Amino acid sequence: MGRRHPGAPTLEEVAARAGVGRGTVSRVVNNAAGVKESTRRAVQRAIAELGYVPNLAARSLAGQRADAVALVMTEPRWRQFAEPFFSEIVHAIGDALAGTGPQLLLTLVRSDAERRRFLEYARGGRVDGVLLMSVHADDPLPDMLAEARLPTVLMGRRSGDERVSYVDADNAGGARSAVAHLLATGRRAIATITGPPDMYVAQCRLRGYREALASAGLDTRPSWVAEGDFTIEGGHRAMTRLLERHPEIDGVLAASDTTAEGALEALRAAGRRVPEDVAVIGFDDFPLAERTAPRLTTVRQPLEDIGRTMVQLLLQEIEEPSVAWRHVILRTELVVRESA
């Protein structure tokens, strides 16, 4: 745990810059009467110089709030609503928020310009807190929100040293359990298809794969690893590359269920039987895992629990703005079906 960093310019800092009292700044911000024009101009100049954004929710002496929470998707490449992961987590978060009061606002932030616009929107008091998903390692938005003192909770994390509140699944442990199952069923030439390498979730699943193979004294060379992007198309391409490099493959851990579906398609096209020739395990346990042929063995992420815990943490931070950031990691579960 740790404390939040100093945030955006405050009303007191504007007052000090303008050489006036806090109440005068408040009257200028609220366009109240009784302020000399020269004083008003001095305050407005200080606001511009400091980049101060009035918090609309904080203006009310009664402590009124925006009664809204933003769910921000930051993935620039995926077709968000075409991938099961996004619809599943939106559903889980929506259910968790139901009956709690705040309205859920769904927002896409995919560029620097959109990031700046959203930050100004959020700092203006239009939302009480932010839920972030699909954050890549180099994304500055979580830090920008924390510095602006906006309650923020991530789904997943950018690194092992994340300093913003997050809820994550035990991705490395889930991958280890999947590889252990493949080994227990006699597989020895086991490859993996990863997610995007700049996402910590993908790094953790790859690490778990490598740890399990290393513990068994088996090959973990780079040629057994193919990069994917959590999509069906990416899984198909990666599986095709793996078959070209290692036709002796008899087991595959895919970093997501959609990736696994693409791998199954590539194996069928190559004339490989699943699981007789090659066993396949996915990760997520989306409904599509029940519809693949054969049905997909996969590592289940507790998405409902993740969504519920994210909402709980965020509401707590909204109620107690000075609360330390918190990290929660939830267990995964291997679901065995016909593909492995």
Q: Which of 312, 318, 317 is nearest to 57 (CA)?
A: 318
Check residue 30 and report its DSSP letter: T
Which pLDDT tens digit goes with each residue over 144-157? 998 888 999 999 99
Which domains, from first to last, does the chain contain?
11-52 (1.10.260.40), 68-169+304-331 (3.40.50.2300), 171-300 (3.40.50.2300)
Q: Whole-angstrom Cα distance, residue 114 to residue 102? A: 23
pLDDT of 61-107, one tens digit each? 344 577 889 999 887 665 555 667 788 888 889 888 887 778 899 88
Provide the pLDDT for residue 61: 38
Each residue's pLDDT tens digit in the chain (340 positions)? 443 444 567 878 888 999 998 878 877 776 666 788 888 889 888 888 887 776 554 544 344 577 889 999 887 665 555 667 788 888 889 888 887 778 899 888 888 899 999 998 888 888 999 999 888 888 899 999 988 889 999 999 999 989 899 999 999 999 999 999 999 999 999 999 999 999 999 999 999 999 999 999 997 789 999 999 999 999 999 999 999 999 999 999 999 999 999 999 999 999 999 999 999 999 999 999 999 999 999 999 999 999 999 999 998 888 877 667 889 999 999 999 999 9
- Whole-prediction pTM: 0.78
Give the position of tokens 């075409």.
82
d(CA 170, CA 223): 25
- Using CA atoms of 150, 153, 154, 157 in order, give the dihedral in degrees to the nearest 10: 90
Cis, peptide link before residue 294, omega less than 30° from 0:
yes
Question: Torsions phi, psi of 227, nearest 5?
Answer: -80, 130
Q: Render pLDDT for 222-236 as a digit per residue (tens, 0 to 9).
A: 999 999 999 999 999
Q: Is 213 helix (H, G, I), strand (E, B) or coil?
A: helix
Structure confidence at residue 51 (pLDDT) = 79
Q: Render the burial of 184-212: b for 16+ CB within 10 Å, e for the rest.
A: eeebebbbbbbbbeebbbbbbbbebbbbb
Give residue 54's pLDDT: 64
